[in-house]
Copies of this chain bind each other. A is one copy, B any other.
Amino acid sequence: MTEKRASIGARRNPETEAAVLDAATEILAEKGISGVTMEAVAKRARAGKATLYRWWPTRGALLMAVYRRRKQEICHPDTGTLEGDVKAVLESLFDHWSRPEGRVFRHIIAASQSDDDLREALEDYRLERLAHLGEIFERAAQRGTLSDDVPAQEMARAVMGMAWLHLLVGRLDADAAGIARTLVRGWVRPS
């Protein structure tokens, strides 16, 4: 909780920003995603609604900001092989999503099915994550081991597809090594 704030310019004030994101996080925990309205968050943070809208033009953008802030940067350590890198990414995601962050993200995906603002904010975030995932495929390409049968962007989407599926069905205890093997190795015996 923070004290009442005076009017704020267009530049973000880090304290107010933190107060708003704290407020949204609290409301999310208390009332679920539908409780997080711009009005309720502004009131709890003692900030002006105009300020909220200036910094997060939609409720979806604000919800994504809450998730992003709680998200430790998922790192992509160089394990020396693409299969190892995919395993490390999945382990890091499953671990992260096993905390309250996973609940937030599941509910963002769920609510985005009927909330266009949130859908748009999620899509921006998703494309950013896909680009970030690209790192591990660039490394494999530099090692000279990446197949050029398949575009790296499709590979990144496959990793994301497996991750989301396991999040949404509550199987974050799945075997990341097995999933990595499934994705990276071919399914057809070399003839």
* A residues neighboring B (CB under 8 Å): 32, 81-83, 106-107, 109-114, 119, 122-123, 126, 140, 144-151, 154-155, 157-158, 160-166, 168-170, 178-179, 181-191
B146–A188 touching, CB < 8 Å: yes
Number of copies of this chain that the complex holds: 2
Please classify the interface of chain A as helix (H, G, I), strand (E, B), loop, or mixed, using the class held by over half of its residues: helix
B168 with A164: CB separation less than 8 A: yes
Whether the Cβ atoms of A147 and B189 lie closer than 8 Å is yes
Closest to A119 in B: B170
Question: Is B140 in contact with A188, judged by CB distance below 8 angstroms?
Answer: yes
The contact of A185 among B32, B114, B147, by CB within 8 Å, is B147
| Contact yes or no, B191 A114, CB < 8 A | no
9 example contacts (A-B, Cβ-Cβ < 8 A) are as follows A82-B188, A110-B114, A140-B188, A145-B188, A147-B187, A149-B181, A150-B187, A185-B186, A186-B186
